[in-house]
Structure 1
């Protein structure tokens, strides 16, 4: 019997690996601060289903490589940092936030870009001269984000990795968890790219809208993540507060700082920017 909520120690290899893969799928579906904001940013910046798929795959495969490495370290009992997992998570927020901000800075070519309303006459308002994200950027983000430690990671490192019969297989639970996440993130990345492609505007307009949205999501999302990391390090008691939902689903069982980060970056900044840019284009160019 596979238990995705609280798998017990002493699992056989087969059930342990199946549990890891299924947990990865749940991780990809549920709102997670280590995956959703970055996947959305790069997928929308690809402005096509193919580029969105590549962005989702690139991020998730790098995430998978990190989880496989960390799983092996956990099997070898080199996981002492997990004793301060919350502290580590807030440090990861800082690093991820800085990387997001730099990614957004790259897309807009070093120019300032306002969060909602562009300045009158600003040629960057609709994405003029903005640059598409480089293929390696989601790879770097995926490897960095993978070091965040939450309920899923702790299950892998403390229950599933030790269930492996030897060090040669210690990396497998992390790898299968990452592949489960990859499956979901690749599909969602393609769908996000398809949405950008099907806006119903000229190709040049779609490109500009997508790049402005990606730039804003990365730039201001990075600021939000850095703020969340600082808040967690400076006021851990408040940052660890959460609301219990009664759901036995990780990422949904308790809603706290991580959920706030996801909703702020993806729903408010990301989707808000996309809608604002579409309306801006329609008002000024029709």
Structure 2
């Protein structure tokens, strides 16, 4: 029987089925723990699309992009080209690019434009015009970009599991299974969030407004945070080494570091404030004591 210790520290001499099973479980752990390369993005798209028929499609497209990149990454690991991750710290550039794409998507949702300033206009209160739908074409692009983020789980499937495979033909499979495992957890968390909103007993139009507005704000302001942190790491690389151990032996939970703080700030702070503000806008009473009315979503 495969234990948690052997999953996080896989031995050599594993069979192909064992490698694929461990990769799947690692993907599920990756999706269930706070990871800065996936949580802020998947959280945003999930809350923006959960209540529409395109929700499953959005989740699939993001996960498909992420999975394709992971399959490519484990192939590089098999042939030895992934060593670039050991030589160079790519967190800064990846954070910056991810943040830029997040901000573009958020700007489109909130204002119908892929790039819009000033910033204060995006937080304008009082308007109940339903924001633009989450652009599905951005989800797969975002998944591909986010997949270039490299953490402990990626190290295991790239440098430990992939090289054990008997042929390059099998090399993409650990990344593929890892992506599937991550997708499973994303779907579960998206369903949980959907049930939380539905518990409010809001109309479909109100839920759609709350979901899209929250998603737009998280993507836009979270994107700005990612850009700033990415640039800061590029200029001062030592910042990325900050870590305070938590004593937990599971990656993404083992330390309070830059990645963990990005998740907390983007999902926990910006995400929570965005949802609360969107709820307030939707259910606040007007001068006649009537609840705020949201126009039908388009």
Q: Quick check: 1:217–1:266 contact (8 Å CA) kept in 2?
A: yes
2:296 counterpart residue number = none
Contact 2:130–2:208 under 8 Å retained in 1: no
Maintained 8 Å contact 1:90/1:232? yes
Equivalences for residues 88-127 of structure 1 within 5 A: 88-108=90-110, 109-110=112-113, 114=120, 118-119=124-125, 123=127, 126=128
TM-score (norm 2): 0.87
Q: Distance in 2 between matches of 1:199 and 1:61?
A: 32
TM-score (norm 1): 0.90
Q: Is the 8 A contact 2:51 2:207 kept in 1?
A: no
**1:251 aligned onto 2:257:** no
Question: Which segment is superposed worse, 143-152 or 46-55?
Answer: 46-55
Cα contact 2:28–2:184 (8 A) shared by 1: yes
Deviation at 1:223, TM superposition (A): 0.5
In the superposition, relative to structure 1, how do residues 23 and 7 fare at CA in structure 2: closer, same or farther (>3 Å)? Answer: same
Provide Cα deviations, 1:134-175, integer angstroms capped at 9, x if missing partner.
Answer: 222211111110011111111111100001110110111111
Cα separation, partners in 2 of 1:113 and 1:164, compared to 1, 3 Å: same
Q: Alpha-carbon deviation of 1:205?
A: 2.2
Secondary structure (helix, strand or coil) at the match of 1:79 reads helix
2:231 paired residue number: 230
Between 1:109-118 and 1:31-40, the stretch displaced more is: 109-118
Aligned residues: 280
5 Å matches for 1:48-197?
Answer: 48=51, 50-84=53-87, 87-108=89-110, 109-110=112-113, 114=120, 118-119=124-125, 123=127, 126=128, 128=129, 130-197=131-198
Unaligned 5+ segments in structure 2 are 292-298
Partner of 1:31: 34
* 1:243 alignment partner, SS class: strand
Over aligned residue pairs, what C-alpha RMSD do you find?
2.1
Displacement of 1:238 in angstroms is: 2.5
Q: CA deviation at 1:207?
A: 1.8
